[in-house]
């Protein structure tokens, strides 16, 4: 069994945020993979299904980003899943928009969702780093990650999420390099060596996301189908 976790913040006001790309990724996997409807459990929402013949639990913590580890730990303890069988999808400032990299272990880089999971489970889980780009200065990081994707982002965001979901069987099989190359080629990039490091482009003086004021719980976001068009179809680009 594998647990695939999407990181984000619950509630309609956060649904289109760059910080919620992890939620968007697991929503797309659920939509394309024939998973069960979402249900409340483990301080989050789960959907059950199978990918490549292996049972998979999708999890969206509803604890807010900086307490994500509490939800992940509850699910892992219930199913007796070791960190090696947990895959976490999260936003990554240090990758250009649309780039995807996978790594196991390492530091949280200031990302409060990863920091929380590290505190509850240790570091030896896999991370699928979904690039959202860096705004250029430390002061602009919070508005950037907690701002909505712009309408123009649809050009790379939708294909990336669809490609991630379509190639989830490679992740389930533990073929991380194959997964990365398939996603890179399908989204118009160039193939990189399997051993290439994904985090080398870090901006000076900044690491990753530092979210985290809200403490209350809101209703969960809805299914992926049509969500991006609703979120990105109106309002001012941010």
Percentage of the chain surpassing pLDDT 70? 78
Give residue-wise pLDDT tens across range 88-119.
999 999 999 989 999 998 877 679 899 999 99
- Known binding residues for tRNA are 14, 64, 66, 112
Give me the active site residues, please: 19
pLDDT tier at 189, thresholds 50, 70, 90: low
Q: If you average pLDDT over residues 168-195, what whole number do you get?
A: 78
pLDDT of residue 7 exceeding 50, the answer is yes
Looking at the predicted structure, is the pLDDT value of residue 201 above 50?
no
Residue 218, pLDDT score: 29
- The residue to which tokens 């530091």 are assigned: 107
Residue 129: closest CA among 180, 73, 67:
180
Is the pLDDT at 235 greater than 50, yes or no? no
Interior CA angle at 52 toward 50 and 56, to 5°? 30
Statement: residue 216 has pLDDT above 50: no
Summarize pLDDT for 116-172 with one digit per residue, the tens. Answer: 999 999 999 999 999 999 988 888 999 999 999 999 999 999 999 999 999 999 999
34: confidence class by pLDDT, cuts 50, 70, 90: confident
Instruction: Please give the domain boundaries of the chain with CATH numbers for all domains.
Output: 2-232 (3.40.50.1470)
Collect all residues with Cβ–Cβ distance below 8 Å to 3 and sequence separation of at least 6: 56, 57, 58, 59, 72, 75, 76, 79, 81, 85, 86, 87
Cα distances (Å, whole numbers) of residue 228 to 15, 24, 27, 133, 212: 9, 9, 11, 19, 24
According to the model, what pLDDT value does residue 31 have?
Answer: 92
Residue positions in the annotated binding site? 14, 64, 66, 112
pLDDT mean over 208-236: 37
Average pLDDT in the chain: 81
Higher model confidence: residue 213 or residue 127? Answer: 127
């Amino acid at each position: 069994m594998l647990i695939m976790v999407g990181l984000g913040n619950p509630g309609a006001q956060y649904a289109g945020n760059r910080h919620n790309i992890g939620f968007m990724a697991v929503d797309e996997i659920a939509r394309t993979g024939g998973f069960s409807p979402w249900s409340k459990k483990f301080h989050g929402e789960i959907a059950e299904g199978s990918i490549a013949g292996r049972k998979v639990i999708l999890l969206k913590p509803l604890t807010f980003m900086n307490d994500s580890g509490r939800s992940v730990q509850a699910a892992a303890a219930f199913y007796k899943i070791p960190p090696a069988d947990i895959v976490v999808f999260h936003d990554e400032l240090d990758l250009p928009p649309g780039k995807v990299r996978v790594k196991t272990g390492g530091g949280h880089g200031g990302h409060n969702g990863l920091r929380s999971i590290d505190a509850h489970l240790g570091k030896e889980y896999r991370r699928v780093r979904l690039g959202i780009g860096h705004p250029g200065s430390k002061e602009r990081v919070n508005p950037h990650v907690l701002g909505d994707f712009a309408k123009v982002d649809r050009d790379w965001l939708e294909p990336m999420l669809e490609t991630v979901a379509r190639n989830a069987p490679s992740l389930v099989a533990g073929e991380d390099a194959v997964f990365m190359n398939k996603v890179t080629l399908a989204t118009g990039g160039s193939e990189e060596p399997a051993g290439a490091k994904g985090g080398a482009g870090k901006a000076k003086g900044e690491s990753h996301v530092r979210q985290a004021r809200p403490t209350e719980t809101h209703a969960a976001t809805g299914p992926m189908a049509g969500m991006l068009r609703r979120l990105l179809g109106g309002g001012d680009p941010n």
